[in-house]
């Protein structure tokens, strides 16, 4: 049980894996989706031997959630700077024209994961390309937009995650399936330029936090912080989420989202042990915005790169602060909107999640 708690905190995410294939065969549509996933993910990696660094990479980068849910758009009598920035983003990406009209989405792409330093080395050193790269692929389906599922295969390891609109979950071969505390939230991968409608919805409640130069671009900064009551719902007896926030950087020139950053600090303390702190920070640069064929002129980012820092500190840690750096780069090969036949039955959680004692409470929003 201790290893399960550690993984949930490390990944801040729900769980996924390959055993779900048998369950999906009970539904024709689910079986079809799974066959597409397997075809796209075949040949994604040759090294099937479980490796500790690959597990960490997949736990942190494969399918993290957005720290904030999608909230209803509330009318404001006074236009804010943040509203102006988001309206520019809607106009530039064209997503304003399809809001309410697009009910589902499909995407497939390729990824490369790498450690940027030896985790045993400690410190914050290490530069890009400093570790072995692992090649892989992923597929994602989304339904308007609280229901989603993503499957990723990298170097022989297969993980999956999903949401039925109430509860998010993840499955990995080394932990199995479990639900995420705090209910359903959007998939962070969708916010990495892939789903402009969800990006606009998420940041419509953000606060304007100034301006910053990002990779030579003058950007507006929009900031979202998770409130104490929500953080409390993510915590349990051994893991307490202290803070989590999301920042978007929107180009003043183009209006596009060009960088996404979020950071989470978690305190872990098992009975009789000293407290340990984990801080996970992910920064993603988005590029290659292109119109989607058949998408009504909507532009999505077709490539990008994420750098993650996983810091561990507290009593008993040899170094004052042990930092692991890792990187993901991705390319989107295919995007489609309004997928024929895609319905709620495709997003039913694995049986292990539905049978857990936490599922009913989380599904009821408790």
Name residue, tokens 């700077």. 81
Rounded Cα–Cα distance for residues 149 and 64 (Å)? 12
Number of domains in the chain: 1
The string of pLDDT tens digits covering residues 175-194 is: 899 888 877 899 999 999 99
Percent of the chain at pLDDT > 70 equals 76
Q: What is the pTM of this model?
A: 0.83
Q: How many CB atoms lie within 10 A of CB 179?
A: 27
pLDDT value of position 138: 98
pLDDT value of position 365: 57
pLDDT value of position 73: 61
pLDDT value of position 31: 54
What residues pair up with 248 in beta bridges, in sequence order?
222, 260
Average pLDDT, the chain: 81
pLDDT value of position 238: 84
Q: In Å, how far are 20, 210, 213 from 350, measured between CA atoms?
A: 7, 43, 44
pLDDT value of position 47: 45
pLDDT value of position 341: 92
What's the mean pLDDT in 206-234?
Answer: 92
Q: Where in the sequence is the domain holding 252, given as residue range(s)?
A: 2-363
What's the mean pLDDT in 6-29?
Answer: 35
pLDDT value of position 10: 30
* Strand positions, DSSP E, 238-275: 239-251, 257-268
Contact yes or no for 58/115 (Cβ under 8 A): no
Residue 39: which pLDDT band, with cuts at 50, 70 and 90?
low
The string of pLDDT tens digits covering residues 245-290 is: 999 999 999 999 999 999 999 998 888 888 889 999 999 999 999 9
pLDDT value of position 271: 84
Check pLDDT > 50 for residue 18: no
What's the mean pLDDT in 231-240?
Answer: 84
| Pairwise pLDDT comparison (304 vs 41), residue with the higher score | 304
């Amino acid at each position: 049980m201790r290893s399960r708690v550690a993984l949930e905190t490390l990944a801040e995410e729900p769980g996924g894996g390959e055993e779900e294939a048998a369950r999906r065969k009970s539904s024709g549509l689910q079986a079809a989706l799974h066959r597409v996933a397997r075809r796209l993910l075949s040949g994604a990696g040759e090294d099937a031997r479980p490796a500790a660094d690959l597990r960490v990479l997949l736990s942190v980068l494969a399918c993290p959630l957005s720290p904030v849910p999608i909230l209803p758009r509330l009318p404001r009598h006074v236009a804010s700077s943040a509203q102006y920035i988001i309206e520019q983003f809607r106009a530039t990406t064209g997503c304003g024209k399809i809001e309410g009209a697009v009910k589902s989405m499909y995407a497939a792409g390729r990824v490369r994961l790498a450690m940027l330093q030896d985790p045993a080395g400690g410190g914050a050193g290490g530069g890009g390309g400093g570790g072995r790269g692992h090649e892989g692929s992923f597929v994602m389906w989304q339904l308007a937009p609280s229901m989603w599922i993503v499957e990723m295969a990298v170097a022989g390891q297969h993980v999956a995650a999903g949401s039925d609109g109430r509860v998010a979950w993840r499955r990995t071969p080394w932990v199995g399936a479990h639900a995420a505390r705090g209910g359903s939230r959007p998939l962070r991968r969708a916010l990495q330029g892939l789903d402009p409608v969800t990006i606009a919805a998420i940041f419509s409640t953000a606060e304007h936090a100034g301006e910053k130069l990002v990779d030579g671009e003058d950007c507006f900064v929009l900031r979202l912080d998770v409130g104490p009551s929500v953080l409390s719902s993510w915590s349990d007896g051994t893991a307490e989420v202290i803070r989590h926030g999301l920042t978007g950087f929107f180009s003043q020139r183009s209006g596009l989202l060009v960088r996404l950053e979020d950071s989470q600090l978690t305190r872990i303390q098992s009975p009789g042990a000293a407290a340990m702190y984990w801080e996970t920070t992910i920064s993603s640069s988005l590029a290659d915005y292109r119109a989607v064929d058949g998408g009504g002129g909507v532009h999505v980012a077709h490539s990008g790169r994420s750098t993650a820092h996983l810091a561990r500190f507290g009593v008993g840690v040899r170094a004052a602060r042990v930092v692991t750096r890792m990187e993901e780069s991705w390319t989107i090969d295919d995007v489609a909107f309004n997928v024929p036949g895609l319905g709620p039955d495709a997003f039913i959680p694995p049986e292990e999640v539905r049978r857990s004692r936490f599922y009913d409470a989380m599904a009821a929003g408790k």
